[in-house]
Amino acid sequence: MKKLLLAGSIMTSMLLAGQAMAAKKEETIKVGVLHSLSGTMAISETTLKDTMLMLIEEQNKKGGVLGKKLEAVVVDPASNWPLFAEKARELIQKHEVSAVFGCWTSVSRKSVLPVFEELDNLLFYPVQYEGEESSKNVFYTGAAPNQQAIPAVDYLMNDLGVKRWVLAGTDYVYPRTTNKILEAYLKAKGVDAKDITINYTPFGHSDWQSIVADIKKFGSTGKKTAVVSTINGDANVPFYKELANQGISAEDIPVVAFSVGEEELSGIDTAPLVGHLAAWNYFMSVEADENDDFIEAWQAFVGSDKRVTNDPMEAHYIGFNMWIKAIEKAGTADPAAVREAMIGISVPNLTGGYSAMMPNHHITKPVLIGEIQDDGQFETVWQTSGLVPGDAWSDFLEGSKSIAADWQAPLMCGNYNVKTAKCSGQNY
């Protein structure tokens, strides 16, 4: 009898413990944060981790969502692309997060994509990318090529009269695909092949002397020359230093960067780089009430009025607020229900307008070109008159011209061929 009572007591204790754990689990909505905190991409991604922690903290001060607090689960994929996939699986299967905010490079996004599709979870991807993708499990809150690369080239060509083009990038999928699109676009605009040169360097590349010398030589023919830079991560620091060392000014050969923002500039002497350019959808210097509030909240959160904001931070701000609204709309944080609720959601961006989630899982964004100032900020020199819808598939690549993405009924497809009327990839 004593043994039976003891066994019963143990079983009751185990049952109560299990119920307590289940109750605790239901008390919070877990949010995965998948950004490199070490390695070559930490210079860019650590700030995005902190941005997510700030947004989650602020939402919890408002009472959370659906009466539940948010709980951040932070992992470090350490700039290791296969490790991104392992950490994504850990977040979804072990920690049971409702969504993940993360990745920077396209190779990291490509690494985790099969995991999100297999486990049917949601990734909010906050960085400009090469397009040529639309997954039902990814919301692309950074710029597609038509929201950054193409407008930047148009500005250089039409406003600065550029005739020769250096397409310089880090050797991975984003620069290679973006430059493939840009090369096709430039040739369609009448640029001769001999006036385009392309080079790639590995992540963390530090010896830029010969490459910058080649750029200088390429730009010495009398035709206005520019560099379109898809160089990523901490390799940007020695690249810009070498430009200055070899006396290349913005007046001689302007550089327009797609992966250099305020955070990257905060680590280098920007005085010799004044006048060089970046194309983004947001700058810290934008004058808007929403931006002022965001900067104030950010600097208070990190405890420093010296810390800057940047475009991918705004993308997380937009994506996170869209996710919150979608949860409220769906009445649940279940990924499938939230995914369906996301399309059509509109939230304030930090430039004074609203961004909306489109059926192709991309958002509407303004496009801005900014000049580097000696204080590490950007002065906007050009911007679109309105919002530009993100295009998942390029109009300038043969294999993509006839492809459309639409995750609403009845299409429910990310790569629908309008000529053959067939969905050739993932669909519902």
If asked whether residues 253 and 218 sit together in one domain, one would say yes
- CA dist., res. 2 & res. 8, Å (int): 10
If asked whether residues 377 and 345 sit together in one domain, one would say no
Residue 358 lies in a domain: yes
SS (H, E, C) 137-197: CEEECCCCHHHCHHHHHHHHHHHCCCCEEEEEEECCHHHHHHHHHHHHHHHHCCCCHHHEE
Residue 343 lies in a domain: yes
Longest dimension (CA), the chain: 100
CATH code of the domain containing 110: 3.40.50.2300
Q: How many domains does the chain have?
A: 2
Res 390: pLDDT: 97
If asked whether residues 157 and 83 sit together in one domain, one would say no
- CA dist., res. 64 & res. 324, Å (int): 9
If asked whether residues 64 and 119 sit together in one domain, one would say yes
Res 24: pLDDT: 47
Q: Which helix (H) or strand (E) element contains residue 286?
A: none
Question: How many other CB atoms are found less than 10 A from the CB of residue 96?
Answer: 12
Q: Which helix (H) or strand (E) element contains residue 296?
A: helix 289-302
Residue 258 lies in a domain: yes
The strand pairing partners of 388, in sequence order, are 365
Residue 192 lies in a domain: yes
If asked whether residues 235 and 382 sit together in one domain, one would say yes
Tokens representing residue 219 in the block:
């730009």
Res 273: pLDDT: 82
Res 426: pLDDT: 59
pLDDT along the chain (428 residues), means of 10: 50 49 67 96 94 98 98 98 98 98 96 98 96 96 97 97 98 94 97 98 95 97 97 86 91 94 83 90 97 98 96 98 98 98 98 97 98 94 96 93 93 93 73
If asked whether residues 319 and 272 sit together in one domain, one would say no
Q: Of 310, 331, 366, which marks where a domain is finished?
A: 366
**Residue range of the domain that includes 331:** 26-143+291-366
If asked whether residues 230 and 315 sit together in one domain, one would say no
SS3 427: strand
If asked whether residues 87 and 236 sit together in one domain, one would say no
If asked whether residues 115 and 150 sit together in one domain, one would say no
- Is the alpha carbon torsion for 203, 208, 212, 213 positive or negative? negative
In angstroms, the Cα distances linking 55 to 49, 70, 124, 195, 313 are 10, 10, 14, 46, 10
* Cβ within 8 Å of residue 219, ≥6 positions away: 164, 166, 225, 252, 253
**Cis peptide before 410, with omega less than 30 degrees from 0?**
yes
Residue 20 lies in a domain: no
If asked whether residues 166 and 104 sit together in one domain, one would say no
Helices (H) and strands (E) in the chain, counts: 12, 19
For residue 363, give the DSSP letter.
Answer: B
Res 423: pLDDT: 93
If asked whether residues 179 and 203 sit together in one domain, one would say yes
Q: Which helix (H) or strand (E) element contains residue 416?
A: strand 413-417
Look-up: residue for tokens 């229900």? 337
If asked whether residues 102 and 250 sit together in one domain, one would say no
Residue 401 lies in a domain: no
Residue 15 lies in a domain: no
Name the residue type at position 367.
V
- CA dist., res. 175 & res. 167, Å (int): 9
- CA dist., res. 182 & res. 149, Å (int): 7
SS3 134: coil
Residue 10 lies in a domain: no
For residue 65, give the DSSP letter.
Answer: B
